[in-house]
Amino acid sequence: MQKPFAITLDIGTSLANLTGSWRNERPEYVDLLPPCNHACPAGENIQAWLYLAEEGDYEGAWRKLMEDNPMPGVMGRVCYHPCEGACNRGQLDEAVGIHAIERFLGRTAWEQGWKPDPPAAPSGKKVLVVGAGPSGLSAAYHLTRMGHAATIREAGPMAGGMMRFGIPKYRLPRDVLDYEIQRILDMGVMLELDTKVEDIEGAFEKEKFEAVFVAVGAHLAKRIDIPAHAAGRILDAVSVLKGMETGAEPPKLGRRVIIYGGGNTAMDMARTAKRLGVDEAMIVYRRSRNEMPANDFEATEAEDEGVLIHWLRTIKEIDETTFTVEKLKIAADGRPQPTGEFETLEADTLVLALGQNVDTSFMGSIPGVKIADDGVIDVDETMMTGYAGLFAGGDMVPAERTVTVAVGHGKKAARNIDAFLRGQRYAPPPKHPLANFEKTNPWYYTDADKTVQLTLDLIRRQTTFEEIHGGLDETNALFEARRCLSCGNCFECDNCYGVCPDNAVIKLGAGKRFKFNYDFCKGCGLCATECPCGAIEMVPETI
């Protein structure tokens, strides 16, 4: 029950000091953590760059994005966009197409020739980065921005890691990848190709690197023993995909191919096989679609292109081109169990896509470094190993193995390396509470479905390595950016200013938001109710 507006004041007493006597609650402006930001493994401030994009300030949006991620053109294509899965707009109609806008910004930067902001003044510190994959490139980029001299050593002939050797061209065009890698190198990052690092301690002691970040990708294919009376042609997906990139002659797969596995690499291999001309590309996987590690859209696109997926199957025996496959069922504990039912499949080639391991053998003798049975490295919360100054990230540490996670590891490692070089410890800023959908007021937003990206026609998808999904142009990128609800953060819509019956909201000027004049505010809560993005909260009054 609202208290009556009647108080008695002594002369000289401020009304603001006695507001609790006639107001139960008072409004306060808050900043909440948008769910898209919270879900991004690369730690992008998505809402901030979306705001600039919807204002038409594309360069400003790109620069804000580049504070966290040096490869927006790549990320806009290969990231599985968990940000969109968390987007509150998805509970209203459809999530904002964040990845498509990011891709648009990456392309626009290329077309306009935008360059990253100049690095900080040189610190005189040298850092060695081992591996030129997404994590190593990200770390080198951020270290350079901080003023440190970063050198990347890559064992292979080209930079890019699994972005180049594991992701087919139909998902990631190589001109995009090459451009964004070169932009990092143009900042002053040194890249040494065909240079395998085997002496980490020597890098510290002999070459005087003050820190080392190891980010070697998972390039070693896992193997499995399958009884074979007369084994046919057996390949591994990693080698096939890598060979496609290095110019090797495409493998002769025959008319029918079985891909054994259920991850994204299996899907990529099957879709690549179709493009290489096989009549039948079949995936055999021991779990159901719900348990597969691949993203669901990958399986859908594979099936659209004619790939056959045999769920709940395991290969028991091989006799040249005949494969004996046992049917499985999911038991009560969620594990696949044999049924004793068998069937046969015919194929000319078996391609194994059972996952990859990291070669960490070169780190086995380093004091303090702990290597698990699966080869991953034990690191602390700063991403440093048990050896002072030696950091690790990407596929080498326990985490989901995606490009976005790897890029985030590179940034996190760079921040901690920077603090280490300065004799300090990086302390991440505290996070605001999460902005949920219930705190928004969707009444102010009209239905606007996500912009649909054009898709290459099916015949060309099956026969060429052209990029499947098209990008946005300026018109629909602007539309898509404006679908953002700005969850939990004021974007100066003036609603609170317009609906306040007591003129208690004071405008502070463009970009400065508002403040409340509590001498006038009665605590009616109308401003909080009508705030579209939930950036006003009613808090208990205190006297």
Sign of the four-CA dihedral 38, 44, 50, 55: positive
Rounded Cα distance, 24 and 150, in Å: 57
Domains of the chain are 15-31+490-540 (3.30.70.20), 35-114+440-481 (1.10.1060.10), 126-219+358-421 (3.50.50.60), 221-355 (3.50.50.60)
Tokens of 260: 């054994």
d(CA 461, CA 274): 9
Question: How many Å separate Cα 2 from the centre of its chain?
Answer: 48
Q: Which two tokens stand for residue 264?
A: 């994204």
List C-alpha distances in Å: 33 to 129, 333, 500: 32, 37, 26
98, 105 Cβ separation under 8 angstroms: no
At residue 406, φ and ψ (nearest 5 deg) are: -60, -45
The Cβ-side half-sphere exposure at 117, using a 13 Å CA radius, reads: 15
Per 3-state DSSP, the chain is made up of helix, strand and coil in percentages (nearest 5) of 35, 20, 50
CA-wise closest residue to 417 among 65, 81, 109, 129: 129
The H or E element spanning position 82 is: helix 82-86
Nearest to 87 by CA among 487, 529, 400, 356: 487
Token readout for 485 is: 């609800």
Which residues, including other chains, have CB under 8 Å from residue 511's CB and lie 6 or more apart?
492
Point out which residues pair with 231 in neighbouring strands.
Answer: 320
Walk along the chain (543 residues) and give the pLDDT tens digit of each residue.
Answer: 343 333 333 433 344 444 445 788 999 999 999 999 999 999 999 999 999 999 999 999 999 999 999 999 999 999 999 999 999 999 999 999 999 999 999 999 999 999 999 999 999 999 999 999 999 999 999 999 999 999 999 999 999 999 999 899 999 999 999 999 999 999 999 999 999 999 999 999 999 999 999 999 877 777 777 777 666 788 999 889 988 888 778 888 999 999 999 999 999 999 999 999 999 999 999 999 988 999 899 999 999 999 999 999 999 999 889 999 999 998 888 889 999 999 999 999 999 998 888 888 888 889 999 988 777 899 999 999 999 999 999 988 888 889 999 999 999 999 999 999 999 999 989 999 999 999 888 877 777 778 888 888 989 998 899 999 999 999 999 999 999 999 999 999 999 999 999 999 999 998 899 999 999 999 999 999 999 999 999 999 876
pTM of the model: 0.90
Q: Where does 321-443 show beta strands of DSSP type E?
A: 322-330, 336-346, 349-352, 356-357, 390-392
- Measure the CA–CA gap between 403 and 75, rounded to whole angstroms: 8
Name residue, tokens 């459809």.
Answer: 94
Tokens at 58, concatenated: 């594309």
How far apart CA 149 and CA 287 sit, in angstroms, is: 47
